[in-house]
Structure 1
Amino acid sequence: MLEPAYEADVVIVGAGVAGLSAAHRLTTAGVTTTVLEAAPCAGGRMSTEKIDGFRLDRIGQLLSTSYPELRLTPGLDALVLRPFAPGVLLHGDGRHHRVEFPPAAGGARGALHTVRALASAPMSAPRAGALPRVRASAPLGTAVDQARLGAALTRLAAMPVERLLSRPELPAAQALAAGGVPARTIAGFLRPLLAALLCDPELLTSSRCADLALRSFASGRLCVPEGGAEVLPELLAQALPPGTVRTGVRVTSVSTSSVTTAEHGEFRCRAVLLATDARAAAGLLPGLRVPDFHPVTVVHHTTDEPPGTGAGLLLDADRGGPVAHTAVVSEVDPSRAPAGRSLVSSTVLGPPPADVDTAVRMHVSRLYGTSTARWETLAVHHTAEAVPAMRPPHDLRRPVRLMAGLYVCGDHRDTSTVQGALHSAHRAATALLTDLGAGGSMHRAERLRAAA
């Protein structure tokens, strides 16, 4: 039962997907929760701009159908995932090359070998009939290289996740080179794929994180949420009791029993969960580490004559321009564009060129093999601190319980993905419920029903 001085059992600072999913788990367990968000609306970096019937993601991180937390998070039951065409489409040596790796047997329950292991034992010759269907050419190297890569990805589900995370780690690029993966395979396939999955074009990310990214790729399909990235936080917010989320509330300080705001005074509580981005969290708790970040720029164009790549994700194996990957997103999710128009979204990783729109137009013209002169620019979204960097040594399970009454979650406490943000929220909610004791207090509605 709440004491009279408490306004909520738990105050969550930040209404991104981590904070909202933690709030849902707590309220479901009967813990009264208030979510405070400084911005005018919930969602954080998972936002979608609406222009003339188009839905334009500001960052557009790729999701995977194999992300476990998308299935395990309460409130996301109505989420619809729109998958890209199987595998990826590579642009290399002036041609398109389709690479397809069907999900391994066992699906998302499997785990991958590390990047180093991928280059050694798993690359040995496969048993007859063990290979998945692989359709590719030059970017993957010789036919033998392709066969070995296919066999490796087939066996990547065999290693337990705990063993994967306990292996020594290196920067991903260094681990690939040291492990003996053919240079052609690295340059033509693994580097552009991992760059797109990690938002890290130089592959300085921990090899453990790269392994998890490859695990998701091999176990499922790359996808986007139907209706835009904002659908995830919207579904989570809608599933909370009315009044749980309060926007436009700027938090200035936190303790284990209260949150102070600039305009709305003090909120007293039994525990506080910081679910902001890493920099904002460190501003409230100066001892927290602030990682480096990967900048991401997304350029959205529309045309009435779409390129003929269908719903494929197109990667640049040649690194011949600023675009790391591009797609006709309206072919993947028709709800993102009005009838008769196509939406082409292109992602630039790292610092963008001075005239980013012109540079992107020139590059995607070569990638798609078509003129972009008549394409209309809808928006250019640049986010300087889009994705926390995961350079080694990187703890994929950073503590979410700082002390009794004070907790933190977000993609900076796990992996820098939606899966990581949701998983960190799951861990934080579990720690909170344990400390509050057997589910905390009863939900207000349950108390009223009991009193009646």
Structure 2
Amino acid sequence: MPTAAVVGAGLSGLTAAHRLSTAGWSVRVFEAAPRVGGRTVSDRIGGYLVDGGASALGASYRAYLDLVAEVGLTTVPSSPYIGIYRDGRIHHLRLDRLVRSALGTRVLSARAKLRAVRLAVDLVRARAAGYLDYSDMRRSAPLDTETARDYALRALDAELEEYLCGPVVRCMLIAGTDRVSRVELFSGLANIFSSRIHALVGGQGRLAEELAGRLDVALSDPVERVADLGHRVAVTHSGTADEFDACVVSAPLPVAREICPDRAAVLGPLHDALGYTQAITVAVGTRIAPDSPAMLVQMPAKEDPDIALLFLEHHKAPDRAPPGHGLIGCDWDTAAAEKWMGATDEEIVEHTLASLRRVFPELFAGAADPVELTHVTRWRHALPLTSVGAYRHIGEFNAALDPADRIQFAGDYMSAAGQNTAVEFGTRAAHNLLSR
């Protein structure tokens, strides 16, 4: 029976371990944290089910949804409404009637809607040319030449940059359009506005928990080094060295580079080119639900520089809040998260509630305090910051990897970050080892 170590019990690592285990391998998963899931974590708190990291799923996430069905879990469709906040009100769009609602919305002027035709044409051309092929990001090079803001101001106009491009990019990376590549804008448009949104029953962390329950997982057991012995792989963890036939490294890029000195030649250039965003998520449970039917309210930076997204979790899935109550997941912009990371939970909650009072005044109209739950989650390594040129480096990194290597990689730095690509690259790493 072949043996394998998997470093990291996030979604990609657990997927790789699951694929190897079902193929007959003996697999051991090492996780430095005291729980599995990475950035797909869920907690039950006082009747609420809080997703502290990754939140929603596109209906186009075939690899993820197939794995969910394979292990016997289920998803439910979320509310088809999304909102964009402008000038003191939420403007709603229906994803299942997108063209009709987009033509009728007042979030954009008539002139901006006409200019948006150029964006739609550019997106269709990019998809047709294969520039958004997540399996080979080198093909994104023709798009990866300017920031999302530079593209919007050059090809569109300031209004579309502020109230369409900006909210989409903030939804993808929780960062401003001036910090990320145009690839993120096109990828976000393709994902957000082309399919219905789903949620995993039991919380977004449920898939990781289900996979981990079928595997041998060592928690609070950090790996210090992965060494290529030629015929074997030595994994040093908590001061102990064990040997395996192969290894999948599914840790964040800075950790992977540190523990894999034998692969510094391929990891180093990408590490130097790719940073990570920081993130703060605040869950707010309320005794009544907001009036909006939206599952997601996007906050343009002009309207709120600090809060980027508001997930109305009770519209995402019915198990997220008690009946009649509301649960709002507030995702901070990475620039604000970087400044507030050291603040107390009380300070972060107070600042978040100030935004909610403005967006959902109906919650605070009565004399009683509507808030019955607050929960703060901090992510010092949230998502890879894909600035201009990053996808070229990602493509070069993937091309430099040897599919026959005993050490395989499956990280969020190998494509556009997301739950679906985590499953895809975890599966790819396992397939490479099985093909040996």
If the length of structure 2 is used for normalisation, what is the TM-score? 0.82
Quickly say closer, same or farther: Cα 1:401–1:249, change in 2 above 3 A. farther
In the TM superposition, residue 148 of structure 1 has moved relative to its aligned partner by: 5.6
- Aligned partners of 1:321 and 1:363 also within 8 Å: no
Say which of 10, 17, 29 aligns to 2:11. 17
- Aligned partners of 2:148 and 2:165 also within 8 Å: no
Per-residue CA distance 1:202-251 (angstroms, 9 max, x = gap): 4422222332221112321234322222112123224x3xx532323222
Higher helix proportion: 2
Say which of 304, 315, 318 aligns to 2:298. 315
Match of residue 145 from structure 1: 112
The one-letter code matched in structure 2 to 1:293 is Y
Q: Does 1:363 align with 2:355?
A: yes
Say which of 180, 183, 194 aligns to 2:169. 194
> How far apart, CA to CA, are the structure 2 residues paired with 1:138 and 1:340?
29
Superposition pairs of residues 216-227 of structure 1, within 5 angstroms: 216-227=191-202
| Count of residue pairs brought into register by the alignment | 398
Out of 133-142 and 20-29, give the one that drifted further. 133-142
Match of residue 137 from structure 2: none
SS across alignment from 1:411: coil
In the TM superposition, residue 18 of structure 1 has moved relative to its aligned partner by: 0.4
> How far apart, CA to CA, are the structure 2 residues paired with 1:155 and 1:225?
33
> How far apart, CA to CA, are the structure 2 residues paired with 1:362 and 1:380?
15
The one-letter code matched in structure 2 to 1:17 is L
- Aligned partners of 1:415 and 1:421 also within 8 Å: no
Quick one: percent identity of the two aligned structures? 22
Match of residue 177 from structure 1: 153
The one-letter code matched in structure 2 to 1:275 is S
- Aligned partners of 1:84 and 1:311 also within 8 Å: no
Per-residue CA distance 1:161-216 (angstroms, 9 max, x = gap): 634435241221112222x2132122112211221122223442222233222111
Match of residue 284 from structure 1: 259
SS across alignment from 2:207: helix
> How far apart, CA to CA, are the structure 2 residues paired with 1:76 and 1:211?
31
The one-letter code matched in structure 2 to 1:236 is L
In the TM superposition, residue 414 of structure 1 has moved relative to its aligned partner by: 1.5
Superposition pairs of residues 18-417 of structure 1, within 5 angstroms: 18-73=12-67, 76-102=70-96, 133-142=101-110, 144-146=111-113, 149=116, 153=120, 156=123, 159-160=127-128, 162-164=130-132, 165-169=140-144, 170-178=146-154, 180-238=155-213, 240=214, 243-256=215-228, 257-263=232-238, 265-286=240-261, 287=264, 288=267, 289-290=270-271, 291-317=274-300, 318-350=302-334, 351-352=336-337, 353=340, 354=343, 355-372=347-364, 373-395=369-391, 396-397=394-395, 398-399=397-398, 400-401=401-402, 404-417=405-418
> How far apart, CA to CA, are the structure 2 residues paired with 1:432 and 1:95?
53
Quickly say closer, same or farther: Cα 1:133–1:155, change in 2 above 3 A. farther
SS across alignment from 2:96: coil
* CA root-mean-square deviation: 2.8
> How far apart, CA to CA, are the structure 1 residues paired with 2:325 and 2:253?
38
Quickly say closer, same or farther: Cα 1:305–1:261, change in 2 above 3 A. same
- Tell me which structure has the larger Cα radius of gyration: 1
- Aligned partners of 1:63 and 1:223 also within 8 Å: yes
> How far apart, CA to CA, are the structure 1 residues paired with 2:250 and 2:84?
37
> How far apart, CA to CA, are the structure 1 residues paired with 2:406 and 2:116?
48
Match of residue 424 from structure 2: 423
If the length of structure 1 is used for normalisation, what is the TM-score? 0.79
Quickly say closer, same or farther: Cα 1:270–1:59, change in 2 above 3 A. same
- Aligned partners of 2:48 and 2:320 also within 8 Å: yes
Per-residue CA distance 1:257-308 (angstroms, 9 max, x = gap): 2333344733222211101122221220242243321111111112212211
- Aligned partners of 2:3 and 2:27 also within 8 Å: yes
- Aligned partners of 1:87 and 1:221 also within 8 Å: no
In the TM superposition, residue 416 of structure 1 has moved relative to its aligned partner by: 1.8
